[in-house]
Each structure stands twice: as C-alpha cells, then as structure tokens.
Chains A and B, each alone.
Chain A
C-alpha cells in the first residue's frame, strides 16, 4: 500500500455564489497515477487546481476545508505559494510553451527558483528534464529554436519537461492529451508511466480508455461531488455506484 501524498478533507470551493465542490474527501497515493473523470463542469479541474492553489488567481473563488500535502495544510495563508508551485507542477490541456527557445523554456523555472547557479548546472537540468520527458533525442540539436515551433505532441512534452525541471513532487495534468493525435497521446501515456516512479501524478481526462491505461486509482466526480473513488480496474469493471456505471458505460443524461 502506497503512502498518502495528498489528502483533501471536506473541501468546498465556491466561485462567488456558485458552489463548485461539495465536501470532497479524497486521498491521493504517493508515486501513483490518480485519474479524475466526470462530465464537464463536475469539478475535477477545480479540484486539481486546489492542489497548487491555482484558484488563488480567481478573485471570486473561495476555498474551505483542508488540503494537505505530506500532512501539511496548504491552504494556510502564510504558506509560500511560489514554493508550493515548485513542488506541485502543472500541465494544461493545450500545450503552452513560453515564446522563448526550447532551452529557455526549461531553464526558466530553475532560474527563478534559484536552482542551477552556473551555466553547466542549467545545461544539466535542461538535458535531464528533456530526457525524462522523452524529448531530448528529438530536440538536442535545436535547443535555441523557439519552443512554439515544435509539433503539438512535442510542445506538450516540452511543457512536461518544464514542469519536471524544478524537481516537483506532484504533477497535475489537466486533459494533457486532448489536443494531441493518437501517437503523441501514446508517447505522453508512456511518459506518465515512467514518471510515476518518481512523482505523484493526478490526471484529469475525458477519455475512459486513457484513465484505464494510465492510472492506478480513479475518482468519479459529478456536479461537484466525488461520487466514487477506487482501484481503476474495479471502477471500470465493476463500480459500486450506479451513477459511476451509468457514466462510464455512456448511459448518462
């Protein structure tokens, strides 16, 4: 049994008057992939955005309840959000490399977080991050070309490399393959499989097949509530909750 890395307790999120999450209690295991599924607007993205406090940037957003990483409450006002985001990286639906060179895309994070004092150290971080993201062989001879010039799949792996470059503990992925073709998707999934040996990964996906392939644990959200969570195989072969079954078998709505 893995250790719990992230624990949410009675987590509620409000966007102004509208409540987006209702008393979510969810434990995420260390060095495992947890997939979050559910129809659009069910709160799964809102949930992962709580893990690195991305919701802070939305003025009308209010969060109550607890989220702990390694037993430490992260909603604490005194917590340094910058260092939290160093520990919890994020990859978005659409690849969003900086309008800079491939090299700078990777070295930017370490630089602002005070890692990689010398050029040699930065070179090493860039190479190892790109290697971990399975992109090094494809870009090693053109590190000074713009990151935006890469293909969609490569750009997404560049974003993953950028997330890895600051050596985080957790990687949040919000539909990381929805803009990618099947081959680029396969590469990202293969990468997720490798990354889980070192990182705790939470992935939001609309693809059931992807959730089955990449995750060990799956949580199903509906209308802001966590309906069911369990071993991925169990959820997709024989879920306990009827609503989960209706959703994954396409009987919803």
Chain B
C-alpha cells in the first residue's frame, strides 16, 4: 500500500502495529512457558510467568495511549480506522489470554510431581494446539491474511474437542481416588482456561478478517464437543 503523505502519521500507525505484534509475541511465549511449566510441574517458573504478565499489561496501556493519540490527531479513515480499531480489540484479547496463562501458572503450586502421563499428555495436546492457534492468528494479523485468520477461526472446533478429551481424563483421574480432588479441580480450571484462550484467539481471528475485508465473518463458528457448564 502506498504511504501517507504525512510521514509522522505513517510512523504512528506502524508503531501501533509494532506494539500489537510485540504484545502478541510476549503473550505467545508466556503461554508456552506456562504450558511447559504445567507439564513439567515446574514450580520454580511460576513467579517468572506471573511477572511476565506485567510486561503484557504495560503494552496494553501503551497501545491504548497510541490509539487515543491516533484518533485525536489523525481521525483515521477506512483501512487506517479498521487497523486502529482492530488493534484496540486485539490487544484486549491478548491481555485476557495473558491473564489466563498467569492463572494457569498459579495452578501449578498444588500439583504433585507424579501426575500420570496420559493426563498430562491430553492437556499438552490441547496446550500445543492453542499455542499454535495463537501463533497463526498473530501471523495472520502481521500479513493481513484473511484466509489464514478464517482457518484459525474454524480450527477452534478442534480446541473444543481436545478440551473435552482433556477434561474427561481429569474427571476420570479424579474419580479413581478422592484424594486427587484437591489438585484435580486446578487441572479442570487450567483446561477450561486453555479453552477460553482459544475463544479469545477466535475473537482475534474475527478482528483480522474485519481489518482485511471490512466485514465480519458471517455465520456461526463451527463448535466441537463442549463440556456442560
């Protein structure tokens, strides 16, 4: 796309997009760290992961300020307006994903070191998929790739399905011995958090689609098996 006549406007928009990308990459590594720590029951990493959420939140405030400035100074139109508004909404979803990863890190504390492989395996498969989804949706934002964003949106069905499987294995584990109850509830919440992160990722995908084409995706997102709440 050709550049703005006013160079500083061009710079401000680029800096905004840059902030969203940086915030996205921090959110991505925080989620990977938090997943890794759960699977390894690595209690030493908890504080670091919780702390990294501050960094993400700082970006959120920075992005808010950048957007306010853009709106006041430039009154963006068309693609610029959509870029600005999408950035605002995407940063909100990233912040929530950060909160969920932080919440998952906190759930590691009461976990015993000897959790069965199958239980962790199912959780890991879910976690890996959610991380992949996050990476791909961020790529779609960077490249303004409508098809890629739509693919992520559709693939949330698989997140639902893996959530169901992971939940089932936790419930199965729980039902074997009542003494597992304490930390099993934490695992249930951790699983649910991943599923919620998946939902935020689909929001981001919807915003990327809007950014690129100026219209929201039509129809309902394909849904997988869901746990009754």
Least Cβ–Cβ distance between A238 and chain B, in angstroms: 3
Cβ of B60 under 8 Å from chain A: no
Question: How many A-B contacts if CB must be within 8 Å?
Answer: 41
Rounded to whole angstroms, the CA-CA distance of A238 and B6 in the bound complex is 21
Q: Least Cβ distance of A149 to chain B in Å?
A: 35
Query: Which of A209, A239, A252 is the one whose CB lies under 8 Å from B78?
Result: A239
A63 at the interface (CB under 8 A from B): no
Is there a chain A Cβ closer than 8 Å to B3's Cβ?
yes
B76 within 8 A of A: yes
Of B77, B80, B82, which is in contact with the most chain A CB atoms at under 10 Å from its CB? B77
The answer to whether the Cβ of A246 comes within 8 Å of any Cβ in the partner chain is yes
| Binary CB contact string for chain A from 212 to 253 against chain B (1 if under 8 A, 0 otherwise) | 000000000000000000000000111100001110111111
In chain B, positions 41-98 with a C-beta closer than 8 Å to chain A are 74-82
Chain A interface extent, by class: 10 to 19
In Å, the complex CA distance between A59 and B98 comes to 70
Interface size classification for chain B: 10 to 19
Task: Confirm or deny: B215 has a beta carbon within 8 angstroms of a beta carbon on chain A.
Answer: yes
By the criterion CB–CB under 8 Å, are A208 and B5 in contact? Answer: no
Chain A: CB-nearest residue to B6: A250
A245 touches B78 (CB 8 A): yes
Q: Which residues of A contact B6 (CB under 8 A)?
A: 250
CB of B79 within 8 A of CB of A249, answer yes
Report yes or no: B2 in contact with A251, Cβ–Cβ below 8 A: yes
Known: A208-B75, A249-B78. A238 touches B9 (CB 8 A): no
Which of B5, B9, B214 contacts A252 (CB under 8 A)?
B5
Given A208-B77, A209-B75, A249-B76: A237 touches B82 (CB 8 Å cut-off): yes
B75 touches A251 (CB 8 A): no
Are B2 and A246 within 8 A (Cβ)? yes
Which chain A positions have C-beta within 8 A of B75?
Answer: 208-209
Most chain B CB inside 10 Å of its own CB: which residue of A236, A237, A239: A237
* A139, B183: Cα distance in complex, Å: 79
Extra 20 A-B pairs, beta carbons < 8 Å, given A236-B81, A250-B6, A251-B5: A208-B75, A209-B75, A237-B81, A237-B82, A238-B82, A238-B215, A239-B78, A245-B79, A248-B77, A249-B4, A249-B76, A249-B77, A249-B78, A249-B79, A249-B80, A250-B4, A250-B9, A251-B2, A251-B4, A252-B5
